[in-house]
Amino acid sequence: MSEITGLAFKARELDAGDELAGVRARFVLDDVVYLDGNSLGALPAAVPGRVDDVVRRQWGELRIRSWEESGWWTAPERIGDRIAPLVGAAAGQIVVGDSTSVNVFKALVGAVRMARLAGQERDEIVVDATTFPTDGYIAGSAARLTGCTLRAVTPAEVRGVLGDRTAAVLLNHVDYRTGRLHDLPGLTAAVHAAGAVVVWDLCHSAGALPVGLDAHGVDLAVGCTYKYLNGGPGSPAYLYVRHDVQDRFDSPLPGWNSHAEPFGMRPDYTPAAGASRGRVGTPDILSMLALEAALEVWDGVPVESVRAKSLALTDFFLECVAAYVPAGRVESLTPVAHEERGSQVALRCADAEAVMKRLIERGVVGDFRHPDVLRFGFTPLYVGFADVERAAAVLARTWGDGGGAG
């Protein structure tokens, strides 16, 4: 009991010294410990009012005039520039729109086409074998479409399979199951040394840690906005196209919105300049402007501070789990080393699905991944250290006093 009291006291001290503690007030929260921001971020308080204005005034009163008067037409690039600092990119390289899946397809096929511009017959796509299933499905489709062979390997094996046949490599910055952070700088350099083009999926890193797209020379990247960027369910994704490759990016999904003269309605296609060639059709304005409001929670918040708190939160959670949970009940799949850890902790345990249901019933929300993984995502903008201590204590109580989960 003294140890538990000690960790609860430590949590209070850590919260008292938390420079990001005030950001929590920018969200709509309750007394639930919400550790599922790696699936769906919490609601920023500014969003409901903004959506009401978009629906009632911009759409309801201004109607078609809002494409110009309310800035609807420029929203994909404007919001892209708002995301850019969060992933280490200069303005003019990110366009917002479509889903992550659609953007992965655009980026991967575009990457193969870029790789072949050098005149070499590159005919292999390398994909992360541990990737989120959809990325793998799309990589397979892209391979069939481009006449490539698909090669699935773990990120640790990528360097060993690169060669003069490699056209494109699709990798995840953070593993969605384990929370392992992969070596973006090193792998990007290795792909470039082989003469290939790299595409990074940032879904589990953007908004949780520094990415450094420009600094590390990443060619193309995609990401969702409904996790650590808190854009809301199904909020539009984004596509990053580095400045110096934009004129070579040939999207497999050209649309009137990405035409150099979108209102010219010409039968022949000429791509727009810059990242705008990543657009396709009419932007999804309602969800896009909700995302723009959500991104205001980042005003004055350095990504470096978010990363520091993320590591402190996950360290403290692992400390509390080790102290509270009966020995042998859980095994951490998340790396201990900070340079290999994202912003989640994955615990393997028997009856994981049932354990997570009990946690949720008791006010601690994480999620479950088949067959035996409990995932806990830590969003530093609104998760505190007292939340972490409470979550570990509730997890321990699911086994009672040494008995089974219940």
143-165 burial, b if ≥16 CB within 10 A, otherwise e? beebebebbbbebeebbeebeeb
CA-wise closest residue to 127 among 82, 168, 91: 168
Is there a contact between 280 and 98 (Cβ–Cβ < 8 Å)? yes
CA–CA distance, 406 with 400 (Å, rounded to integer): 7
User: Which listed residue (98, 128, 135, 201) is catalytic?
Assistant: 201
375 is catalytic: yes
201 is catalytic: yes
248 is catalytic: no
Residues 6+ apart with CB under 8 A from 217: 188, 189, 192, 242
Q: What is the dihedral of CA 233, 109, 197, 178, to 10 degrees?
A: 40
238 is catalytic: no
User: Which listed residue (242, 309, 329, 375) is catalytic?
Assistant: 375
User: Which listed residue (27, 34, 226, 376) is catalytic?
Assistant: 226
User: Which listed residue (34, 105, 132, 228) is catalytic?
Assistant: 132
3-state helix, strand, coil in the chain (%, to 5): 45, 15, 40
358 is catalytic: no
User: Which listed residue (82, 106, 227, 341) is catalytic?
Assistant: 227
Residue 250: how many other CB atoms lie within 10 Å: 17
Residue 101: how many other CB atoms lie within 10 Å: 16
Active site residues: 132, 201, 226-227, 375
